[in-house]
Chains A and B, each alone.
Chain A
Amino acid sequence: MINTELKRLEKLEGRIYEIAEENGLKFCPIEFDIVPQEKMFEIMSYGMPGQISNWKFGRDYERTRTIYEKMGTGLPYEVVVNTNPSRGYLMKDNTLSLQVLIIAHVVAHVAFFTMNQYHIDADSDIASGLAIASQRFEGYERKYGIDMVEQTIDAGHAIMLHSNPWLKEETESEKLDRLFEKMKKRKHDKEQTEFGDFFEDDSKAEIDREQWNQRLYMTLKNKTPVQPTEDILRYIIDHSRGLADWQKDVLEIVRQWGKYMWPMIKTKYMNEGFATYWHERILRQLFQENLLSHDEHAECNYTNSLVKAKNPFSMNPYLVGCELWEDIVSRWDKGQHGNDWDEMEDHEQKLAFDDGSMKGREKMFKVLRTSNDWMFVHNFLTNDLVRKLKLYMYVKQSNVFFEELVIADRKADEVREIIARSFSHSGVPRIFVDNGNYLDRGELYLKHEFIGAFLHPEYAQKTLEHIEFLWNEKCTLETVQNKKEFKYVANKSKNVASFDDTEYLPISELGSL
């Protein structure tokens, strides 16, 4: 990159920060690195510099490179890492206008991280933690063999999203104390309870209460986990009898990575939409201030249209997210919300309504602070928007000759419903550790919270086998399959689940790879 160009980019960068701040975006300091393309692909595939080594990242790296070779230059590759200071990566061979677009986009991302409540607790030091761990893991590979390390990482990756990063972390004994305090019988205080005088406190009641409490304590103490826990990895790390210390170390790091990823996944549409919304505006202003030439702005617009292209097979978060924000701002600017507006009968009149309240920006930041994708889509994806974005549902139909993808439904309210449902818990099934000493045999018993959709059988079975590798005892997963209660079982001696429905292939067939 030529020095003068770098100077100009720095100047634009400075102005971008100013524009962002003028518009009410708050963000932590950002450091940009200009990297060669190969390095860019690596960071993109690994999600973060310093990431631990694993074949999956290698596969993605290879894939990204191949796509780049096929598609050529000009694609707006961006990576932003949510640390403090945040890091953004720019690809060396990009044109200046592309760099400017990406800087504007990244600034909005960082503002999102800084302001959205789901990102507030993010580990700001995760990059260096990973980098140090990854050196340690290289040692493990030499000492215990790459296969063992890989198997542990793979198993960890399989369940890394099964946690709740927003709950206070408690050890099992802390949880026991908390639950006991909550559930134990207390001596009733006459002054405090309205009907206190009903409970004549005598010595017999005292003894009963003591006994009851003791029983309660023992019952809780014998339960493991004390309360069903969503944090499968935490529970396994703390209670598995088959894990070596180095494996626990590996799993802790994977779990941290999962905790970092969770908020990203939970706010993907909001986040990408927000960044797109703002890079459009920032670029427009730079152009108006004559900081970008006509050609450069045109190039930005062209790239922007690629970013926001409609995809026939999936929803584009950049487009859908951005349109949602646009819609929110425009509706709250005009006061098109609330009961009165909802109940207007004439559709034309509804769309034309404008009370000039100009609350759009305010609403935007309110939603930004408190929402995640599920709320975002649930509250703000209207039928009008479904129609405007031309969203539809499609299904796969296959016969001997073809596999066809066919549009099945585009009725706005039905499509809206399906989309909203798919965002529930970000599409991650909720699985709880129910019992870590099932049948008093040290087996692990997991329960899936069934919400209407079935687990993918092959994936469920294979994931359970990953868990079993870590738990080192038989593992069972209770769920509903084909409208019947169903148990997946992973056991080293017998890894095949017995499906009572012959429509499924036996697992050994399914996992032919």
Chain B
Amino acid sequence: MSIVYHDNWEIEKGLKDATRHQKKIDEAIRKNVRDVIGNEEVLSTEKGKKVRVRVQGLKDYKFVYGNKGGGGGIGQGDGNAGDVIGRRPGKGVGGKGGLGHGEDMEVEVDVDYLLDVMFQDLGLPWLDPKKKNSIEIPKGWKFESISKKGVYSRIHKKRTMQEAIKRNVLFVKEIMEQTKCSYEQAGKALQQAKGDIDNAIKIIKSEELDLSVPSAGFLIHDDDLRFKQIDEDVEICSKAVVFALMDVSGSMTPDKKYLVKSLLFWMVSWLRKQYEMVEIRFIQHTEIATEVDENTFFYGGESGGTMASSAFKKANYLIDTEYPTDEWNIYTIYCSDGEDFEPLTAVSAMEDMIAKKINMLSYVEIKPYHDMFDEDLAYQYGYSTLLPECRKKWKFEESSISKDGKFWINNELHFLLSVIKDKSHIWPCLQHMLGINHPERNEK
């Protein structure tokens, strides 16, 4: 019966096991990256580098009772039958129902980390850096290289001393080996011979060594001198521009725009990892194209006809005037629901763009209809005009990588046609967009 009080308590396993748990959570995020990227919460943190994502907590599996609905139980307090005692947002349409057990937990994750995970999962090696167009920007001057000649004001003291020490040690060793004298004697002999190794050996052999010479210190030879060199400093800057083109006619509902936003978010985040500088130009169009800011692009709305050609022409103009292709890597993503008035004009504008040798052109048709996978129906009702024209004009291979959404690829032109339906199609769409740029994928 006692109370013991002392201060030397150690945390034995808590931290180690907490780290281990964190690792398992990371794995969980890794496995769920597909769900995570379609998550609204990810997009709402626009500037921040960190996003909060919900992942299901890891479960301790054991035999338990539980019915489908789960989540019922016994509680205590006031209230009558029928009263609501707790409420939280539902999982939305098509979401998976909760199972009651296993808590969800919120985890803060780096966008960069998510990107790493995504692209590791893709099995894509990083883009070949040689493919990046880059320019050199002068940044001033820097001391970087070292040479044996130079002016004394720029002598590199540390390197010079290093060289001297190195040489002295080697000489002493050599003397010891040749004369079998002691370390101290060899040092003194070298000192007495003023650094000349042959003389030093002679001194010892002829027993002329003066033991009163201090043995400390090194002699710096001319050969040991090192000088800093001044160089011009340049920064290699690789630049990319994303042209985000979108049809904003009445049929582009907020739902569809959400998908566009999600796609662009991840595309741009990824490009930001690849290039030092990434610009985005937002171009919306009805019958005419206008360049707008991000907010208007995603949240504004206009009515009118649909002519994709106007947007492509606008982008082409910008490429010609502001973004020469030998300096800029150009990515164009065009999003629409496909009801174009003049598909042939649009196709010819696309052709112009491709001729400029841009890095990628991606046409994304957003079709939240149940019959979108039925091509026959699509043709029959003719709600998509641009896509069939493109497929007539160029040769595409239908992708079989993913069953979510439809994708046609032309690897030569770096041209992707895609039809996507909901959040879960964003991931495969990104997979294709990034894959198209990759030579290995192209060979397949």
In whole angstroms, how far apart are the Cα atoms of A294 and B31 in the complex?
57
B92: interface (CB < 8 Å): yes
A454 B18 Cβ-Cβ under 8 A: no
Q: Is the interface of A mostly helix, strand, loop or mixed?
A: mixed
In whole angstroms, how far apart are the Cα atoms of A261 and B260 in the complex?
53
In whole angstroms, how far apart are the Cα atoms of A308 and B81 in the complex?
24
B123: interface (CB < 8 Å): no
B65 A31 Cβ-Cβ under 8 A: no
B76 A402 Cβ-Cβ under 8 A: no
A419 B62 Cβ-Cβ under 8 A: no
A429 B64 Cβ-Cβ under 8 A: yes
Once A313-B86, A393-B73 are accepted as A-B contacts, the answer to whether A459 and B101 lie under 8 Å apart by CB is: yes
A57 B63 Cβ-Cβ under 8 A: no
* CB neighbours of A42 from chain B (8 A): 11-14
B73 A6 Cβ-Cβ under 8 A: no
Report the minimum CB–CB distance from A488 to chain B (whole Å). Answer: 10
| Chain B, Cβ-Cβ closest to A27 | B1
Which of A121-129, A275-283, A403-411 faces chain B?
Answer: A403-411
B217: interface (CB < 8 Å): no
A159 B5 Cβ-Cβ under 8 A: no
Task: Among B4, B79, B87, point to the contact of A33 (Cβ < 8 A).
Answer: B4
A57 B17 Cβ-Cβ under 8 A: yes
B82: interface (CB < 8 Å): yes
Once A400-B90, A454-B67 are accepted as A-B contacts, the answer to whether A389 and B3 lie under 8 Å apart by CB is: no
In whole angstroms, how far apart are the Cα atoms of A150 and B20 in the complex?
10
B13 A53 Cβ-Cβ under 8 A: yes
A55 B55 Cβ-Cβ under 8 A: no
Once A419-B74, A510-B99, A513-B55 are accepted as A-B contacts, the answer to whether A503 and B1 lie under 8 Å apart by CB is: no
Interface residues of B in 19-70 (CB under 8 A from A): 19-22, 24, 28, 31-32, 35, 55-70
B13 A460 Cβ-Cβ under 8 A: no
B13 A159 Cβ-Cβ under 8 A: no
* CB neighbours of B76 from chain A (8 A): 310-312, 315-316, 319-320, 389-392
Which of A9-17, A188-196, A337-345 faces chain B?
Answer: A9-17
Central interface residue in B14, B65, B77, by most chain A CB within 10 Å? B14
| Chain A, Cβ-Cβ closest to B67 | A454
Report the minimum CB–CB distance from A460 to chain B (whole Å). Answer: 6
Total A-B contacts with CB atoms under 8 angstroms apart: 253
* CB neighbours of B17 from chain A (8 A): 53-59, 61
B62 A61 Cβ-Cβ under 8 A: no
| Chain B, Cβ-Cβ closest to A103 | B3
Once A6-B5, A312-B75, A429-B63 are accepted as A-B contacts, the answer to whether A398 and B97 lie under 8 Å apart by CB is: yes
* CB neighbours of B16 from chain A (8 A): 53, 58
Task: Among B24, B69, B79, B98, point to the contact of A395 (Cβ < 8 A).
Answer: B69
| Chain A, Cβ-Cβ closest to B3 | A32
A509: interface (CB < 8 Å): yes
Once A427-B65, A455-B64, A460-B63 are accepted as A-B contacts, the answer to whether A394 and B92 lie under 8 Å apart by CB is: no
| Chain A, Cβ-Cβ closest to B29 | A513
In whole angstroms, how far apart are the Cα atoms of A510 and B68 in the complex?
12
A401: interface (CB < 8 Å): yes
B1 A31 Cβ-Cβ under 8 A: yes
| Chain B, Cβ-Cβ closest to A46 | B13
A418: interface (CB < 8 Å): yes
Report the minimum CB–CB distance from A208 to chain B (whole Å). Answer: 45
Once A31-B2, A51-B13, A419-B74 are accepted as A-B contacts, the answer to whether A58 and B65 lie under 8 Å apart by CB is: no
In whole angstroms, how far apart are the Cα atoms of A387 and B20 in the complex?
46
Central interface residue in A389, A406, A460, A466, by most chain B CB within 10 Å? A406
Query: Per-position contact with B for A463-474: 1 when CB-CB < 8 Å, else 0?
Result: 100100000000
* CB neighbours of A510 from chain B (8 A): 99
B83 A406 Cβ-Cβ under 8 A: yes
A238: interface (CB < 8 Å): no
Report the minimum CB–CB distance from A59 to chain B (whole Å). Answer: 4
In whole angstroms, how far apart are the Cα atoms of A63 and B241 in the complex?
44
* CB neighbours of B20 from chain A (8 A): 55, 58, 146, 150
Query: Per-position contact with B for A22-61: 1 when CB-CB < 8 Å, else 0?
Result: 0000000111111110110110011000010111111101
* CB neighbours of A58 from chain B (8 A): 13-21
Task: Among B9, B32, B79, point to the contact of A513 (Cβ < 8 A).
Answer: B32
Report the minimum CB–CB distance from B71 to chain A (whole Å). Answer: 3
* CB neighbours of B355 from chain A (8 A): none
A392 B74 Cβ-Cβ under 8 A: yes
In whole angstroms, how far apart are the Cα atoms of A459 and B99 in the complex?
10
A31 B73 Cβ-Cβ under 8 A: no
A148: interface (CB < 8 Å): no
| Chain B, Cβ-Cβ closest to A429 | B63
B60 A158 Cβ-Cβ under 8 A: yes
| Chain B, Cβ-Cβ closest to A159 | B62
Central interface residue in A14, A405, A429, by most chain B CB within 10 Å? A405
Once A58-B16, A59-B18 are accepted as A-B contacts, the answer to whether A314 and B74 lie under 8 Å apart by CB is: yes
**Interface size (B, Cβ < 8 Å)?**
71
A459 B64 Cβ-Cβ under 8 A: yes
A422: interface (CB < 8 Å): yes
* CB neighbours of A55 from chain B (8 A): 17, 20-21, 24, 58
| Chain A, Cβ-Cβ closest to B23 | A55
In whole angstroms, how far apart are the Cα atoms of A56 and B25 in the complex?
12
* CB neighbours of A427 from chain B (8 A): 64-65
B96 A429 Cβ-Cβ under 8 A: no
* CB neighbours of B371 from chain A (8 A): none
Central interface residue in B12, B16, B57, B62, by most chain A CB within 10 Å? B62
* CB neighbours of A405 from chain B (8 A): 71, 84-87
In whole angstroms, how far apart are the Cα atoms of A34 and B22 in the complex?
29
B7: interface (CB < 8 Å): yes
Task: Among B32, B77, B93, point to the contact of A400 (Cβ < 8 A).
Answer: B93
B5 A1 Cβ-Cβ under 8 A: yes
Interface residues of B in 302-351 (CB under 8 A from A): none
A408 B86 Cβ-Cβ under 8 A: no
| Chain A, Cβ-Cβ closest to B86 | A405
B73 A394 Cβ-Cβ under 8 A: yes
A157: interface (CB < 8 Å): yes
* CB neighbours of A259 from chain B (8 A): none
A161: interface (CB < 8 Å): yes
A407 B80 Cβ-Cβ under 8 A: yes
Report the minimum CB–CB distance from A11 to chain B (whole Å). Answer: 10
Task: Among A159, A390, A431, A455, point to the contact of B65 (Cβ < 8 A).
Answer: A455
In whole angstroms, how far apart are the Cα atoms of A110 and B247 in the complex?
73
B21 A62 Cβ-Cβ under 8 A: yes
A310 B77 Cβ-Cβ under 8 A: yes
A453: interface (CB < 8 Å): yes
The 9 closest A-B pairs by CB, nearest first: A58-B17, A456-B66, A396-B71, A405-B86, A58-B18, A462-B61, A310-B76, A61-B14, A42-B14
Known A402-B90, A456-B65; further 20 A-B contacts with Cβ < 8 A: A10-B2, A34-B3, A56-B21, A56-B60, A57-B13, A62-B21, A157-B60, A311-B77, A312-B76, A313-B73, A391-B74, A396-B69, A402-B87, A403-B71, A405-B71, A405-B87, A406-B83, A431-B63, A459-B66, A463-B63
* 24 contacts across the A-B interface (CB closer than 8 A): A36-B7, A45-B14, A46-B14, A56-B60, A150-B20, A157-B60, A319-B76, A392-B76, A392-B77, A392-B79, A394-B74, A394-B85, A396-B98, A400-B93, A409-B81, A427-B64, A429-B63, A448-B63, A454-B67, A456-B66, A462-B59, A509-B96, A512-B35, A513-B56
